[in-house]
Amino acid sequence: MFKKKKYFLVVLVVLIMAISVLTGCQRQSNKVSYNLSLEADNFNVARKVTVINQRTDTILFQMSGNFSIDKEADGDLAVIGENDDGTYYKHFIYLSSEITYIVEDLGKTGVNKYKYEINFNPKMIIPAEAVTVD
């Protein structure tokens, strides 16, 4: 009886040691990815998002600044940032099978974290045709 308890205790200790060793073996890239994402979600990292129409190879939208990017449950891309007065903004980008996006991490910058810039492709907005009705 005593041998069984001792054997069980040894197996339990070995299992606990194996689990503790394996949990500490997380890849460094996973840690770095988590830390970078956390910094970006706290608006501490400058980013640039570019939205591209794959069919026409045109850039539809560009935005740069310190903001967080989140993919919503409905598939839209949400860009969330903080204004200098403490309020927040949220822009949505509709993604479809022909629309894709690229996010560039521009790194930490010494510029104002509340400033952001949005660029639209004017060809996608301006080419309106005037229709006259007689």
Distance of alpha carbon 91 from alpha carbon 112, whole angstroms: 20
Q: Which band of pLDDT confidence, cut at 50, 70 and 90, is reported for residue 123?
A: low
Per residue in 29-86, pLDDT (tens digit) is 788 788 888 888 888 888 888 888 888 888 888 888 888 888 888 888 899 888 888 8
pLDDT at 133 over 70: no
Confidence at residue 113, expressed as pLDDT on a 0 to 100 scale: 58
Bridge partners of 93, per DSSP, are 77
Confidence at residue 22, expressed as pLDDT on a 0 to 100 scale: 63
- Give the domain ranges of the chain: 42-124
Distance of alpha carbon 100 from alpha carbon 12, whole angstroms: 51
Largest CA distance in the chain: 104
Q: Which amino acid is at 45?
A: V
State the burial class of residue 132 (Cβ atoms within 10 Å of its Cβ: 0-12, 13-18, 19+). Answer: exposed
pLDDT at 19 over 80: no
Confidence at residue 57, expressed as pLDDT on a 0 to 100 scale: 84
